[in-house]
Amino acid sequence: MKAVLGGLAATGTMMLIGAVPSLEVDSLFLLLGSRSIKGWYSGTSIDSQDTLQFAVLSGVRSRNEVFPLERAKDAYERMMSGKARFRAVLTMS
Amino acid sequence: MAKMRAVQVSRAGGDLELVERDIPDPGAGQVRIKVAACGVCHSDSLVKEGAMPGIAYPRVPGHEAVGTIDALGSGVRGWKAGDRVGVGWHGGNCGYCDACRHGNAFACQTETKVTGLTTDGGYAEYMIAPAEAMARVPDGLSPVEAGPLMCAGVTTFNALRHSGARPGDLVAVIGLGGLGHLAVQFAAKMGFRAVGIARGKDKEALSRELGASGYIDSKPAIRRRNFRNLAAPRPSSRRSPRVVP
């Protein structure tokens, strides 16, 4: 994370959307380039609704591995292993 | 009482167990959703492992739930039975505290409701949700397609649209997993120059397939410390915001 931070352009913003344990940053790097590091809360229900609409508009889709509800444990383990390509989804029927 | 199948965690660190439960009834301001699909998110591990304080067990995880409204509690306006809806991490907010009145429902000062964490979620045939926690699901998306967009999707989409990046700006996405593979697609479709950053040469094809115009293999790049050059070829690209899944 620290290594890639160096690629941030002047006035650029790094949006943090995952729970990285900690992030060390050279304050001069931020100051001299007016750079920002910003956290962003996922979103509320209306943001999700906007996301769904944009997905329909643009064709953006998640690539999913589908499991029936009774195989939730397998789906969870697959997700935790980091091997899922790319999201695991349970179906109820 | 009618029963349903659900998958629950009985204690912190416990297993995911398939159980039979009573079908819950919606209270005032709530709806019951007949769940069709629910995504499995890494933050479900918070529930399974008890990594957040205040989780009451047994608890049904799942905050990428999509289905149809099955029953309405009293006082619910704007929704009807049969509506296709989704519920994400945001599990409701009071609507009357200062944060809510400022439009920052996520920072609600009265209650922190998280779907599948403070309330039972979507690893079940039915679930209860407050009306304000629902998103309308458009016809063009199946439940399986909509599920992961309720958390992984909104997390990347919403961060990108609030990043300050403008059309043509360079956006680097670090990591091409569950969130990253969506972030690259959203970034490209929003009109940014998307660059995927991941470990290994083999991810380059994937990155381009998702719409990225560039790719960086992070291993040799870190060794050479050449991330500094990322935005250099185009001095006109004022910002290079990064999305970090």
A13–B241 C-beta distance less than 8 A: yes
What pLDDT does residue B220 have? 77
pLDDT grade for A20, boundaries at 50, 70 and 90 = confident
Residues B111 and B187 in one domain: no
What pLDDT does residue B139 have? 96
Tens of each residue's pLDDT in chain B, 245 residues: 799 999 999 999 999 999 999 999 999 999 999 999 999 999 999 999 999 888 999 999 999 999 999 999 999 999 999 999 999 999 999 999 999 999 999 999 998 899 999 999 999 999 999 999 999 999 999 999 999 999 999 999 999 999 999 999 999 999 999 999 999 999 999 999 999 999 999 999 999 999 999 999 988 766 665 565 554 443 333 344 455 44
Residue B9's DSSP bridge partners are B16, B59
Residues A53 and A72 in one domain: no
Residues B172 and B237 in one domain: yes
Per-residue pLDDT tens over the stretch A35-83 = 999 999 999 999 999 999 999 999 999 999 999 999 999 999 999 999 9
Query: Distance between CA B114 and CA B92 in Å, rounded?
Result: 7
Nearest Cβ partner for A92 among B35, B93, B197: B35
What pLDDT does residue B224 have? 63
Residue B35's DSSP bridge partners are B67
In the numeric block, which tokens belong to residue B174?
Answer: 């670090």
Residues B66 and B91 in one domain: yes
Full domain range(s) for residue B171: 155-243
**Do the beta carbons of residue B71 and residue B109 sit within 8 Å?**
no
What pLDDT does residue B223 have? 64
Residues B104 and B169 in one domain: no
What distance separates the 2 farthest-apart alpha carbons in chain B? Answer: 67
| Distances, alpha carbon B53 to alpha carbons B56, B63, B203, in Å | 9, 18, 37
Is the predicted pLDDT of residue A11 greater than 60, yes or no?
Answer: yes
CATH number at B222 reads 3.40.50.720
Q: Is any Cβ of chain B less than 8 angstroms from the Cβ of A52?
A: yes
Q: Is any Cβ of chain A less than 8 angstroms from the Cβ of B181?
A: yes
User: What letter would DSSP give residue B124?
Assistant: B
Distance of CA B245 to the CA centre of its chain: 12
**Do the beta carbons of residue A25 and residue A19 sit within 8 Å?**
no
**Do the beta carbons of residue B156 and residue B245 sit within 8 Å?**
yes
Residues B166 and B134 in one domain: no
Which of A 19-48 lie inside 8 A of B, CB atoms?
20, 38, 40-48
CA-closest candidate to residue B64, choices A60, A46, A89: A89
Residues with Cβ within 8 Å of residue B40, at least 6 apart in sequence: A72, A75, A76, A79, A87, A88, A89, A90, B62, B64
What pLDDT does residue B213 have? 94
Residues A39 and A3 in one domain: yes
Complex ipTM more than 0.90, yes or no: yes
What pLDDT does residue B222 have? 66
How many folded domains does chain B comprise? 2
Burial of residue A86 (number of CB atoms within 10 Å: 0-12, 13-18, 19+): buried
Report the gap between the CA of B198 and the closest CA in chain A (Å).
11
Instruction: Say what angle helices A45-58 and B152-161 make with each other, to 10 degrees.
Output: 90
What pLDDT does residue B52 have? 87
Full domain range(s) for residue A93: 62-93
**Do the beta carbons of residue B133 and residue B111 sit within 8 Å?**
no
In the numeric block, which tokens belong to residue B39?
Answer: 């995504």
Residues B133 and B215 in one domain: no
Residue B243's DSSP bridge partners are A15, B173
Per-residue pLDDT tens over the stretch B115-167 = 999 999 999 999 999 999 999 999 999 999 999 999 999 999 999 999 999 99
Q: Which residues of B touch A69 (CB under 8 A)?
A: 5, 7, 18, 123-125
Q: Which amino acid is at B7?
A: V
